[in-house]
């Protein structure tokens, strides 16, 4: 099993290869050969149907997504979905903050009825941010400490 003459790996087994653009932007594979030129980020115009609030979110997120090559003309409408989800999430949160998390209906205290909707919008925003590589990843990377020279005591000063 798995030794010499066993026939090697099963065809199609294991993890699928990343798309070339994704692998290049994440730095896991270098482009070589005829297609070695860096991909050029082309500007993507926002649709004219965006509201003022949606346009503010677009202007905030789009430059980073274009620079990461995740916002392209073919992914534009998925990005619009992310923008609208973010605006809806913010609207729900503002309404809940205004009314309070607990409201009184007919003398009975209940959770705010928008809480499930807020949770749904938060999940959509989180998924969209990850899809366009805009979600924060991990923690800040500190510069590595300079290693001590183990032979420093044997060096002769001049």
Q: Give domain limits for the chain.
A: 20-134
SS3 category, 96? helix
Task: Give CA–CA dist 66/41, Å, rounded.
Answer: 6
What pLDDT is stored for residue 5 in this prediction? Answer: 60
Write down the pLDDT at residue 18. 77
Backbone angles phi, psi at 111, to 5 degrees: -65, 155
Per-residue pLDDT reduced to its tens digit, 20-29? 777 766 766 6
C-alpha–C-alpha distance, residues 153 and 30, integer Å = 42
At 123 the pLDDT is: 95
Listed residue (54, 137, 48, 52) closest to 89, CA to CA:
54
Question: How far apart, in whole angstroms, are the C-alpha atoms of residue 78 and residue 76?
Answer: 6
Return the pLDDT at 107.
Answer: 84
* pLDDT score for 6: 60
Alpha-carbon distance of 135 to 55, in angstroms, equals: 19
Low-confidence ranges of the chain (pLDDT < 70): 1-9, 24-25, 27-40, 138-141, 157-158
């Amino acid at each position: 099993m798995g030794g010499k003459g066993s026939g090697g790996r099963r065809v199609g087994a294991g993890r699928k290869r990343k798309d070339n653009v994704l692998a290049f932007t994440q730095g896991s594979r270098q482009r070589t050969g005829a297609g070695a030129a860096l991909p050029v980020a082309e500007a993507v115009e926002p649709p004219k149907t965006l509201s003022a609030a949606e346009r503010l979110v677009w202007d905030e997120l789009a430059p980073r997504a274009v620079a990461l090559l995740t916002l392209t003309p073919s992914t534009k409408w998925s990005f619009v979905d992310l923008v609208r989800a973010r605006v809806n999430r913010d609207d729900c949160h503002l309404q809940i903050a205004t009314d309070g998390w607990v409201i009184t209906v007919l003398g009975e205290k209940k959770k705010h009825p928008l809480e499930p909707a807020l949770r749904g919008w938060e999940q959509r925003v989180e998924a969209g941010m990850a899809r366009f590589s805009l979600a924060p990843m991990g923690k800040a990377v500190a510069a590595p400490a300079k290693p001590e020279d183990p032979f420093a005591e044997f060096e002769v000063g001049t």
